[in-house]
Amino acid sequence: MTTVMSPLAGRAIGLAAVPDPVFSGAMVGPGTAIDPVREPSEAVAPVDGVIVSLHPHAFVVVDETGHGVLTHLGIDTVQLNGQGFELLVNKGDTVTRGQSVVRWDPAAVEAAGKSPVCPVVALEATAEALAELREDGDVKSGDTLFVWK
């Protein structure tokens, strides 16, 4: 069992509310999304594990059970070419839950015309594999978003 925590402070909104059909349709996997507070912050690792994919706008941490958790910072933010994002770790690094991974500014993302909403997805999972899924309410960085059974 893996407890997946929020990599950001904000408001849980659920994947269905994400303004992108790939995420809202759970095509990459089930999970939830965070509408982040609009201030410069650091996105943190949602689980203990290894950074297997790292881009300015997104990262994947795989835990010891093999579960991969994607944190995607904003929608269509790949188009910003890393502008406004600062990587704080390297691909292949072992990270602990709550460790800072990327520094970014959701307000700057929004000002650039992109949605700052952040999907947090259980890769290659089924919806039935997730429990205690948070899809509404305020969350702090470190609060539980879901449990991967």
What CA–CA distance (Å, rounded) separates 43 from 34? 11
Per-residue model confidence (pLDDT) at position 42: 97
Q: What are the residue ranges in the chain where pLDDT is below 50?
A: none
Per-residue model confidence (pLDDT) at position 147: 97
Q: What tokens were used for 145?
A: 């978003």
Per-residue model confidence (pLDDT) at position 129: 96
Per-residue model confidence (pLDDT) at position 67: 96
Per-residue model confidence (pLDDT) at position 93: 98
- Would you call 72 a catalytic residue per the annotation? yes
Alpha helices (H) along the chain: 21-24, 106-111
Domain ranges of the chain: 2-139
CB-based burial label for 113 (10 Å; 0-12, 13-18, 19+): exposed
Residue whose token pair is 């539980």: 144
Per-residue model confidence (pLDDT) at position 97: 97
**Residue range 50-85, pLDDT digits in tens:** 999 999 999 999 999 999 999 999 999 999 999 999
Classify domain 2-139 at the CATH class level.
Answer: mainly beta
Catalytic residue among 55, 57, 67, 72: 72
Nearest to 104 by CA among 44, 47, 21, 18: 44
